[in-house]
């Protein structure tokens, strides 16, 4: 299940409103988290903090906004998922780059390479579907799984930073990213498989997990 599957037939009105409310809250909190990170950059002039702010914004607020806006505009599930996942993966790579890269010395080639990789990630599955090489359902499952793999890797690296430097903010960041990516995917599939919940209720569970993840990331930025 994913955000693009929310339809009128997806469950009760209450469950649908709850799912949509959580999605809007995710966009709002994700925007606020990015703003907090950006404010830290404005105060310190620290380039990695700016890259972190952009990465968080893409991985949360922009990603969820795409999940809502693209189906509303009539986009198919493969288009919605590949575009949203590409946005989130670019954001996650920027977060990783902010933590372990050298953003203070980054040039346009590095950032352009990250963006180009995201565009390729978006277009390649759609071309495969258009040429009937891969089934649309396989693409949807594959790109969502890829986002979880990348998110799990970034969370692991943040956790390693916590172990190395005994940094509680890094631990919170690791937990937040893990919930935002791996946790939300697992929660959606488990809810659907074990309880045969409606689409809207599954989406509400996913939204709840993602929102908790963002709150942990916010705490990582404001924790002394």
Closest by CA position to 217, among listed 160, 171, 149: 171
pTM of the model: 0.85
Can you give the pLDDT at residue 181?
94
Q: Looking up tokens 């969502």, which residue turns up? A: 144
Q: What is the pLDDT of residues 139-195, one digit of tens each?
A: 888 998 999 999 999 999 999 989 999 999 999 999 999 999 999 999 988 887 776
Q: What is the pLDDT of residues 24-53, one digit of tens each?
A: 999 999 999 999 999 988 988 888 888 889
Higher pLDDT, 149 or 105: 149
Given a cut of 70, whether residue 86 has pLDDT beyond it is yes
Listed in sequence order, the residues at least 6 apart from 220 whose beta carbon sits closer than 8 Å to its beta carbon are 168, 169, 170, 171, 172, 173, 176
Query: What CA–CA distance (Å, rounded) separates 164 from 223?
Result: 18
Average pLDDT, integer, range 57-62: 93
Given a cut of 70, whether residue 11 has pLDDT beyond it is no
Average pLDDT, integer, range 120-141: 88
Yes or no: say if 79 and 127 are a contact pair by the CB < 8 Å rule: no
**Would you say the C-alpha torsion 64, 57, 26, 142 has a positive or negative sign?**
positive
Given a cut of 80, whether residue 205 has pLDDT beyond it is yes
């Amino acid at each position: 299940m994913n955000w693009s599957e929310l339809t009128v037939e997806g469950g009760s009105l209450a469950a649908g409103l709850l799912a949509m409310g959580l999605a809007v809250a995710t966009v709002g909190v994700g925007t606020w988290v990015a703003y907090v990170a950006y404010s830290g950059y404005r105060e310190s002039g620290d380039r990695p903090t700016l890259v972190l702010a952009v990465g968080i914004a893409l991985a949360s607020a922009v990603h969820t906004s795409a999940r809502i806006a693209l189906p509303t505009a009539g986009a198919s599930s493969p288009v919605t998922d590949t575009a949203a996942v590409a946005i989130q993966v670019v954001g996650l790579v920027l977060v990783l780059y902010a933590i372990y890269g050298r953003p203070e010395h980054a040039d346009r080639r590095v950032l352009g390479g990250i963006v180009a990789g995201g565009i390729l990630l978006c277009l390649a599955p759609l071309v495969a579907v258009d040429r009937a090489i891969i089934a649309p359902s396989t693409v949807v499952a594959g790109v969502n799984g890829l986002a979880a793999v990348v998110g799990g890797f970034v969370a692991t690296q943040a956790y390693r930073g916590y172990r190395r430097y005994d940094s509680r903010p890094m631990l919170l960041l690791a937990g937040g990213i893990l919930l935002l990516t791996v946790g939300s995917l697992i929660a959606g599939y488990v809810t659907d498989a074990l309880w045969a919940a409606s689409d809207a209720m599954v989406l509400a569970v996913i939204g709840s997990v993602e929102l908790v993840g963002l709150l942990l990331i916010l705490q990582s930025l404001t924790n002394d």
